[in-house]
Structure 1
Amino acid sequence: MDLTEAIYGRRATRTYTAAPVPKEVLKSLVDAAVQAPSAVNEQPWDFTIIQNTSLLDRISAAAKAYMIETMPSGSFPEHLHETLRSPDFHIFYHAPVLITVSARAGGWAIENATLAAENLMLAAHGLGLGSCWIGFAQRWLETADGKRTLGVSDAFVPIAPIIIGYPTAPIAPVPRHPPQLRWID
Structure 2
Amino acid sequence: MELMDAIRHRRSVRAFTDAPVPKEVLLGLVDAATLAPSANNAEHWHFTIIQNQALLDRISDASKAHMLKVTDLASAGSRVREHLTAASDFHVFYHAPAVILISTLSGDFAIEDAALAAENLMLAARGQGLGTCWIGFAQKWLETAEGKQAVELDPHYIPVAPIIVGTPKGETPPVPRKTPAVHWID
Query: With structure 1 as the length reference, what TM-score do the two structures score?
Result: 0.97
Cα deviations by residue, 1:108-152 (Å, 9 ceiling, x for unpaired): 221011000000000000001000000000000000011111211
Query: How many residue pairs end up in the alignment?
Result: 185
Aligned partner letter, 1:77? G
SS across alignment from 2:104: strand
SS across alignment from 1:111: helix
Residue 161 of structure 1 corresponds to 162
Whether the aligned pair in 1 keeps the contact of 2:134 and 2:162 (CA below 8 Å) is: yes
Residue 91 of structure 1 corresponds to 92
How far is 1:107 from its partner?
A: 2.2
Stretch of structure 1 that moved more, 17-26 or 145-154: 145-154
Residues 1-185 of structure 1: pairs in structure 2 closer than 5 A: 1-85=1-85, 86-185=87-186
How far is 1:74 from its partner?
A: 4.2
Aligned partner letter, 1:57? D
- Quote the Cα distance in structure 2 between the aligned partners of 1:81 and 1:39: 38
Aligned partner letter, 2:26? L
SS across alignment from 2:5: helix
How far is 1:106 from its partner?
A: 3.2
- Quote the Cα distance in structure 1 between the aligned partners of 2:41 and 2:108: 12
SS across alignment from 1:30: helix
Stretch of structure 1 that moved more, 99-108 or 131-140: 99-108
- Quote the Cα distance in structure 2 between the aligned partners of 1:23 and 1:66: 30
Cα deviations by residue, 1:51-79 (Å, 9 ceiling, x for unpaired): 01110000000000000111123442133
- Quote the Cα distance in structure 2 between the aligned partners of 1:157 and 1:34: 17
Q: CA RMSD in A?
A: 1.0
Q: Could you list the runs of 5+ residues in structure 2 that have no partner in the other structure?
A: none
Query: With structure 2 as the length reference, what TM-score do the two structures score?
Result: 0.96
The structure-2 alpha-carbon separation of the partners of 1:44 and 1:91, relative to structure 1 and needing over 3 Å to count, comes to: same
SS across alignment from 1:118: helix
Q: State, as a whole percentage, how many aligned pairs show the same letter.
A: 56
Aligned partner letter, 2:59? I
Which 4+ stretches in 1 moved above 4 angstroms? none
Cα deviations by residue, 1:18-69 (Å, 9 ceiling, x for unpaired): 1100000000000000000011000111000000111000000000000011
Q: Could you list the runs of 5+ residues in structure 1 that have no partner in the other structure?
A: none
Whether the aligned pair in 1 keeps the contact of 2:102 and 2:162 (CA below 8 Å) is: yes
How far is 1:83 from its partner?
A: 1.5
Whether the aligned pair in 1 keeps the contact of 2:82 and 2:88 (CA below 8 Å) is: no
